[in-house]
Chain A
Amino acid sequence: AQTVTQSQPEMSVQEAETVTLSCTYDTSESDYYLFWYKQPPSRQMILVIRQEAYKQQNATENRFSVNFQKAAKSFSLKISDSQLGDAAMYFCAYRRSDQAGTALIFGKGTTLSVSS
């Protein structure tokens, strides 16, 4: 069974600084998708970034980028120029690429606090 592990329950960063959230996963599949979701105190889950396993290039969305290491099964999220609005719980998620695997498997989450 696939598993997703986020080893940092809490992280903190100062405004304008850079922070990296870690995620590792376990799977025997060769093709799959990885996601980072953000859940602010309002509880609305928001997609931050998505990575296809077959793509070598790391995904980037504005201030958010990932470091995808397929062999190491590692998928970290880097937030640059952190803003107060980035404070939230961040979840790493895995999904298989076939029809039987549309379910997202989530890590336990990392709570990020941002100070001014």
Chain B
Amino acid sequence: KAGVTQTPRYLIKTRGQQVTLSCSPISGHRSVSWYQQTPGQGLQFLFEYFSETQRNKGNFPGRFSGRQFSNSRSEMNVSTLELGDSALYLCASSLGDPNTDTQYFGPGTRLTVL
């Protein structure tokens, strides 16, 4: 079974721009979660989508948004980029059952904001 894939793997943007990251979950997985990883803050939860609905949200500003499509693929959008948004963005997929779930991670998208 193919793993979680994320595109693009690397991105360079400038302040004020916006960016869209994509995540394709493992086949059959209905939940997609997004995390931001930085050296200072570590790994922080952004949001989770399940069956095209946002089920959970972390403590990030509204510039960070996402969506999920009917095939469970998810996109994350960051508008008005700031230098502090430079990070590794990880996507994780799971079946979506809190009682049994394990999240499997993709390779990440490295975003650099100049």
Contact partner of B56 (CB less than 8 A), chosen from A33, A35, A50, A102, is A102
Q: How many residues of B contact A (CB 8 A)?
A: 28
A95–B103 alpha-carbon span in the complex (Å)? 10
Q: Do residues B108 and A103 form an inter-chain contact, with CB atoms below 8 A? A: no
CB pair B105 A45 closer than 8 Å: yes
Residues of A contacting B101 in the complex (Cβ-Cβ under 8 angstroms): 33, 95, 102
Query: Chain B residues near A46 (CB, 8 Å)?
Result: 105
Residues in A with CB closer than 8 Å to B103 are 47, 104
What are the interface flags for B60-72 relative to A under an 8 Å C-beta threshold, 1 for contact and 0 otherwise? 0000000000000
Nearest-neighbour CB distance to chain B for A23, whole angstroms, equals 13
Would you call B48 an interface residue if the criterion is a C-beta within 8 Å of the partner chain's C-beta atoms?
yes
Given A45-B90, A91-B43, A109-B42, verify A103-B56 contact (CB < 8 Å): yes
Chain A neighbourhood of B102, CB < 8 A: 35, 47, 50
Q: Assess whether B98 is in contact with A103, with CB atoms less than 8 Å apart.
A: no
Q: Of A45, A46, A100, which is in contact with the most chain B CB atoms at under 10 Å from its CB?
A: A45
B31 interface residue per 8 A CB criterion? yes
> What's the Cα separation between A16 and B55 when bound, in Å?
44
Q: A47-B102, A106-B42, A108-B42 are in contact. Are A100 and B108 (CB under 8 A)?
A: no
Known: A99-B98, A102-B98, A104-B45. A43 touches B31 (CB 8 A): no
A98 located at the interface, meaning its Cβ lies under 8 Å from any Cβ of chain B in the complex: yes
Chain B positions within 8 Å of A99 at CB level: 55, 98
Residue numbers in B under 8 Å from A105 (CB-CB): 45
**Distance A106 CA – B35 CA, assembled complex (angstroms):** 10
Interface membership of A28, Cβ < 8 A? no
A–B pairs, 17, beta carbons within 8 Å: A44-B107, A47-B104, A91-B43, A97-B98, A97-B99, A99-B55, A102-B31, A102-B48, A102-B50, A102-B94, A104-B33, A104-B43, A105-B45, A106-B43, A106-B44, A107-B42, A108-B42
B-to-A contact residues, CB < 8 Å: 31, 33, 35, 42-45, 48, 50, 55-56, 58, 88, 90, 92, 94, 96, 98-99, 101-108, 110
